[in-house]
Structure 1
Amino acid sequence: MFGVLRVRDYRLVATGQLLSSLGDWLLLVAAPFFVLRLTGSTLATGLSLAAETVPALLLGPVAGVFADRWDRRRTMLTTDLLRAATVALMLLVHHAGQVWLIYIALIGEASFSQFFAPARKALIPTLVGRGPRLAEANSLAALVSGTVQLVGSPLGGALYVLVGFAPVVAIDTGSYLASAALIVAISRRPAALAPQSLDGTALQRFASELRVGASHVRSTSGLPILFSVAAVFFFGNAALTALLVPYVGTVLHAAAGTLGWLFAALGIGYLAGAPLSRALTARLTPRTITIGSLAVLSAVFAATFNTHHTTWDFVLFTLIGPPAVCFLVTVDTFIARHTPDHLLGRTSSAYGMAQAAATLVGMLTGAVLGQQIGIGTTMNLAALAVAGSAATALLIPRHNPADKLTADEPSVSVGS
């Protein structure tokens, strides 16, 4: 898995991802606490969390089109600088009447991230190829995500308590600037994308490019089913996530610190899942990995939320990470291997939008049903939804004509 780090340009991108993601997690924890301290309002605190989710739904299709139009490296550099400037706005907030600036900053940061993410995903295959190193890169990204989640959440809370909100904002701002500097150092200049059609008005051209991306998702063998599988999974997972706090408080009768330990256990599982996903991707088909990982995940979910014992839940939370990472890495790799370079931005954004929509609906459904029919019953239904995603994955074609071509494609040389 770490062999991909021998590719210098990918190493720069991965380091930038680590730094900026860590800064994000620090702020993700500190910002709601800061809003709560200033306003004393749980509604205002909730809005600070919701502000991060709206841009994914509104800007996903737009961001995908432009990620395919623009130079990906320059897009990443520009959005990193814009995110740094936007986050720095929070340094101006000193009392409750200025909290609206935090909302503006969070929405702006998330909006620019909608352009950064598809550009980064589309750039990776250019740097490492679509062969074995692509799976290595996606597995390593999962390892980075797990590490950041394991370290960032408690560190963000600790820094907020020890040094206050402003230094946390400064660290996040600096992480974006550091990421931008690393992107500048990328030596590889990908070939220019095919020019877009100049026929019609700007709106007509945009709509045409959007339709081309949607057509690719619909017509590529296995991709529509995989999107459906992912949507069902994210729905069930979000319903469980929405009930975690009530579960810890009312079912486990534990304090808020227990939730932090459970998230730490989840991070440990993500760390273990990264090398496992790399090994499985090299040996099994995407269909087999998808079915197996989601089936195991649904069983772990069912066991976790029916045990009602803190110690056992800690152990079981570590078991959530490996199958979850295997599924997520498989989806990312499948999309990259079955999408032409000039459509990667739109396809990645479509996947991100499906994820955001399913997550939002799942959270709302979990919250409502948890109130109406009970936490335990709703969590069991959510685990069944994840099992349903595994059943849906049975519809993925057993043999995909494009699999052999992409899997055998050599990756680029380490000196690129």
Structure 2
Amino acid sequence: MSAALWRSRDFAVFMGVQTLSAFGDACTFAAVPLLMRTGTVSITDLGWIRALSAVATLLTGVVAGVIADRFDRRRVLRRCDLARFVLLGAVPLAWLAGPQPWLLYLVLPAAAVFSMVFQVTYVAVVPALVPADRIAEANGLLYGAYSVAYLAGPAVAGLVSQGAGPVYAIGLDAISFALSAAGLFLVKLRGPGSAGPERGLGAGVRFIRRHPVMLPLTVLLAVLIFFTSSLNDVIVYHLMSGLGQPDAVIGLVLTAGVLGSTFASAAVAPLRRRAGFGATWIGAFGLCGLVVAGIGLATDVPLIAVLAAAVTLCTGIAGISSVSLRQEVTPGHLLGRVTAAFWTLQLVLAPAGDAALTFSAKHLGVPATLGVAGAAVTVTALAALFTPIGRRTAAPPPPAT
């Protein structure tokens, strides 16, 4: 079955260039917090940068779904890649004249704008690359390829950072976007470049508000993201400032953490078949909270790596389950706008969470910060037992609007 998809040149090229781009993203994922090593930024600075990026993503979500539906989708993807190439490429170039930490406050939030538009458009593009009965298979291949990219990216970023500096690892991300934009010229989409009636983000919000499972899921995820969106920065801060680890070791720990998402892709399907969406989602986030608290108490680097992998295993299982549910219950013509609305509403509390978690880590300490965050994640997950999420199977979607 999988081999047949490789015979599609368009899908193969799309998967290749986007996997390369994911590798670049993984480099930046690790490189940005490693800038703390240089002394040019602090964990508080990172918190504010993350918060600004979250605000930018949040505001962009209002229009991202409309952009994906109204304009040629391949062109939208290509322009988003080119914009991120210019933005992230400016960082290592500017650093040639000396550290320019102020630039991060502009570049990373601006890049988040184009990332949000890209991701929403990407959801709509995949069905135009493969037959309808192969969409799930295609998504599985893409997720697996991205996991491999994220396994390699942090380790490479750590090595590059230790040898040349974190900004040059960010430069790798910029190059990956340029290659992705070039590769998209070779991809042809079946059918028209845009689809669906022009009804704006409101159609997605109305669908979520009326759905008995999607509504509480969105609310609870907003709370969970508040306590977890800056978890990566806090872990790096813990390893760097608390345990005195070099960049290469930190990169390997982040790589080990990504292993969890790889295992999640294999574990989620049998879990959902046996336990249903509700038990799978609640159990994954309930366990995730306990593991987050454990990271704050751990002082052994290999143990932190194992716990980081456990976190991504849990969040991966919950995340894939959530994506699958959204695809299952949303009418096809609304999927782009529901996706944009779903992501936007989830991020309502993210800016405050980014600032609060990093501020707390610096001033109250990592153990206390992750202890409270972990407890809050577990309690939030258990609260889902008192909503329709707690049922074994999701309720059917409301009539299409």
**Contact 1:139 1:329 (8 Å CA) reproduced:** no
Which residue of 1 is the match for residue 117 of structure 2?
Answer: 115
Which residue of 1 is the match for residue 20 of structure 2?
Answer: 19
Unaligned runs of 5+ in 2: none
Give 1 or 2 for the bigger CA radius of gyration: 1
1:230/1:51 CA distance change after superposition, 3 Å: closer
Give how far 1:2 is off: 5.4
The one of 371, 377, 382 equivalent to 1:391 is 382
CA distance in 2 between counterparts of 1:240 and 1:31 reads 13
Structure 2 matches for 1:45-124, cutoff 5 A?
Answer: 46=46, 52-90=53-91, 92-93=93-94, 94-96=96-98, 103-124=105-126
CA distance in 2 between counterparts of 1:342 and 1:53 reads 27
**Contact 2:256 2:306 (8 Å CA) reproduced:** yes
Identity %: 26
Which residue of 2 is the match for residue 300 of structure 1?
Answer: 291
Which residue of 2 is the match for residue 406 of structure 1?
Answer: none
Give how far 1:119 is off: 0.3
1:284/1:4 CA distance change after superposition, 3 Å: farther
Q: Which region of structure 1 is more displaced relative to structure 2, 120-129 or 329-338?
A: 120-129
Which residue of 1 is the match for residue 330 of structure 2?
Answer: 339
**Contact 2:40 2:101 (8 Å CA) reproduced:** no
Give how far 1:234 is off: 1.8
1:41/1:142 CA distance change after superposition, 3 Å: same
Q: Which region of structure 1 is more displaced relative to structure 2, 236-245 or 11-20?
A: 236-245
1:160/1:321 CA distance change after superposition, 3 Å: closer
The one-letter amino acid of 1:182's match is: G
CA distance in 2 between counterparts of 1:372 and 1:44 reads 10
Which residue of 2 is the match for residue 205 of structure 1?
Answer: none
CA distance in 1 between counterparts of 2:240 and 2:290 reads 23
When normalised by structure 2's length, the TM-score is: 0.80
Post-superposition CA distance 1:365-406 (Å, at most 9, x none): 334545676543332221222212322332215444548xxx
Give how far 1:353 is off: 2.4
The one-letter amino acid of 1:117's match is: Q
CA distance in 1 between counterparts of 2:7 and 2:373 reads 41
Which residue of 2 is the match for residue 277 of structure 1?
Answer: 268
**Contact 1:30 1:160 (8 Å CA) reproduced:** yes
1:147 aligns with 2:137: no
**Contact 1:4 1:128 (8 Å CA) reproduced:** no
CA distance in 2 between counterparts of 1:43 and 1:321 reads 22
Q: CA RMSD, aligned part only?
A: 3.7
Helix, strand or coil at the partner of 2:371: helix
Helix, strand or coil at the partner of 1:263: helix
Give how far 1:41 is off: 5.4
Unaligned runs of 5+ in 1: 197-207, 404-416
Post-superposition CA distance 1:21-47 (Å, at most 9, x none): 21233345556767986x945489646
**Contact 2:81 2:177 (8 Å CA) reproduced:** yes
Give how far 1:145 is off: 4.0
Give how far 1:17 is off: 2.1
Post-superposition CA distance 1:219-238 (Å, at most 9, x none): 12311122123223222323
Q: Which region of structure 1 is more displaced relative to structure 2, 211-220 or 361-370?
A: 361-370
Post-superposition CA distance 1:35-62 (Å, at most 9, x none): 986x945489646666644421221212
CA distance in 2 between counterparts of 1:327 and 1:3 reads 28
**Contact 1:194 1:342 (8 Å CA) reproduced:** yes
**Contact 1:26 1:153 (8 Å CA) reproduced:** yes
CA distance in 2 between counterparts of 1:348 and 1:167 reads 33
CA distance in 2 between counterparts of 1:164 and 1:58 reads 32
Helix, strand or coil at the partner of 2:187: coil
